[in-house]
Amino acid sequence: MNDSLRTTGAFARRRIDHSMFERSGEIDIVAQELVLYLRAGDFGAVKAFFVLQELEDIADLLENMDAADALVGLRQLPLIDQAELFGDLKPTTQVALADAMPRGELARIMTAMSHDERADLYKALDPIARSAVLPGLAQAERDDLRRLASHAEGTAGAIMTSDYATLKPELKAPEALDALRRQAIGSETIYNTYVVDAQHRLLGVVSLRELLIAGTHETIAEIMEDDPVTIPVDADQEECARIIARYDLIALPVIDGEGRIVGIVTADDAFDVAEEEATEDMLRGSNIEPIGGSLSEAGIPQMYRARIVWLVLLVFGNIFSGAGIAHFEATIAGNLALLFFLPLLIASGGNAGAQSATLMVRAMATGEVHGSDWRRMLLRELGIGLLLGLTMAVAVSGVGMIRAGFDVTVAVATAMVLIVLVGVTVGVLLPFILSKVGFDPATASGPLVTSIADVLGVLIYFSIAGAVLGV
């Protein structure tokens, strides 16, 4: 027996720290230890250890070992836990494990998985694996998979799940509780239940809380909330997240054009969507295309592709700044001291503009600002920009007087105010314009607005300097 296995007892009693700040590196070490137990066939210790962990942590451990070891580890869990854990794995790990296991085993796990995660897994599999697993599934599961997998990415339909609980409106409260007990195992949540008619049209929502405190003679129709908040199946997934956050919902029912419920989006999935969208907006703000996976584990080729196009476009964009400078070569040659102030002036326009753009982008993403608000936002930002520009002009004037004399200082201070005003104007308007023409406004908030501000800054500065200095 391996030396490191002497501590079986200690290993089996160990529990992974849930504080993410404290456990950096811990997962790796525990995963290596776990592999030793798995390879030694000491499944008793593994099972004892697994009982103490959360499934999400076990999933992290399995991510950190070979597919063959991970598969042996997975098999030490009951089927229901295997199915839940499988949904927590990254798509690449899911596919690797799916490829490593017999198709019958995969079909059993998929049958037990929650319906949305199962559909996501199905979408991640290659066509061969898909057709291999389908015969192992019951007809109902196959139909459900095809239905859930048919919705376009980024829509409510693509993130909804079909394992929700339903009730008939004529049931009495105690009958409804019994019906829910029977549906509890197969449903993603039973805390909200959906009341449907014979055509599966959504009539209302009942919370388990209301059901529990209802009188025994009350019917579902009496205690349900009529006309609940819903979302169309083809609505944007971001809107699901916003509505769930706004109305503090446990789940949001998704309806088709005829008012039939076709699925629900749960709050935890909406949370993930909001996180993804925030990440995407932040990356786009630095002109990085969405990576769609781990930021820290994306490979060099993937990262290169996500970044190079915009960087090269911006290089060419900045040629205009260079051309602007070349245009004013005579002015510059006549007074090389002007160059001293060039970087700080053009950077100031870009910095103030990036601030305005970031504010607009975020307020648009959280639904606080809409396309029609652009005039109001521009007016406010111009007011702020004037104050910012004046302050920055004062700050730079001291340096200007020491360094370059009165005339240059006047030129620099005047240019500063104008450049900052132009910067915030570009920063406010660019997100609205991008959004209007169908692009992601988040693209505006970083290098793009900076580059535009740079070009305009060069033109403004040297034009003013030329006029003031009479070159």
Map the footprint of its own copies across residues 281-340, applying CB under 8 A: 281-283, 285-288, 294-296, 300, 303-304, 307-308, 310-312, 314-316, 318-319, 321-323, 325-326, 329, 332-333, 336-337, 339-340
Among 31, 113, 167, 190, binds its own copies (CB under 8 A): 190
The answer to whether 111 and 140 are in contact (CB under 8 A) is no
Taking CB under 8 A as the criterion, which residues in 79-108 touch its own copies? Answer: none
Query: How far apart are the C-alpha atoms of 186 and 179, rounded to whole Å?
Result: 12
Decide: is 370 part of the binding site for its own copies (CB under 8 A): yes
In terms of Cα–Cα distance, which of 264, 128, 102, 129 is closest to 190? 264
Given the complex with its own copies, which of 45 and 458 has the nearer CB atom?
458
Q: Give the residue with the Cβ less far from its own copies, 93 or 358.
A: 358
User: Residue 8 contacts by C-beta under 8 Å, 6 or more apart in sequence?
Assistant: 37, 42, 45
Pseudo-torsion of CA 119, 125, 128, 130, nearest 10°?
A: -10
Question: What is the nearest approach in angstroms of its own copies to the Cβ of residue 198?
Answer: 25
Is 10 a binder of its own copies (CB under 8 A)?
no
Listed ranges 42-50, 63-71, 168-176, 273-281: which one lies at the site for its own copies (CB under 8 A): 273-281
Of the candidate residues 45, 71, 121, 396, the single one contacting its own copies (CB under 8 A): 396
Bridge partners (DSSP) listed for residue 252: 265
Amino acid symbol at 206: V
Instruction: Please list every residue from 50 through 79 that binds its own copies, using CB under 8 A.
Output: 52, 54, 56
The minimum distance between CB 103 and its own copies, in angstroms, equals 29
What six digits make up the tokens of 233?
């199946």
- Cβ 431 to its own copies shortest distance, Å: 12
Task: Check binding of 206 to its own copies (CB under 8 A).
Answer: no
Q: State which of positions 211-270 bind its own copies (CB under 8 A).
A: 212-213, 227, 229-231, 235-236, 239, 242-248, 250, 267-268, 270
Number of residues that bind its own copies (CB under 8 A): 124
Smallest separation, CB 13 to its own copies (Å): 11
Segment interacting with its own copies, rule: CB under 8 A, options 124-132, 144-152, 355-363, 463-471: 355-363
The yes or no reply on residue 355 touching its own copies (CB under 8 A) is: yes
410 binds its own copies (CB under 8 A): no
Asked if residue 426 lies in contact with residue 452, where contact means CB atoms within 8 angstroms, the answer is yes
CB count within 10 Å of CB 410 equals 16
Binding mask 431-470 vs its own copies (x if CB under 8 A, - otherwise)?
--------------xxx--xx--x---x------------
Distance of alpha carbon 124 from alpha carbon 17, whole angstroms: 31
Residue 380 corresponds to which amino acid? R
C-beta of residue 432 within 8 angstroms of C-beta of residue 363: no
Residue list 130-169, contact with its own copies (CB under 8 A): none
Burial class (CB in 10 A: 0-12, 13-18, 19+), 349: buried
Number of residues in the chain: 471
Residue corresponding to tokens 């490593």: 100
User: 23 with 16: CB under 8 angstroms?
Assistant: yes
Dig out the tokens for 248 from the structure: 């503090």
CA of 461: how far to CAs of 176, 217, 343, in Å? 74, 80, 11
Cβ proximity to its own copies, 106 vs 214, nearer residue: 214
Question: Smallest distance from the beta carbon of 162 to its own copies, in angstroms?
Answer: 18
Query: Whose Cβ is closer to its own copies: residue 41's or residue 299's?
Result: 299
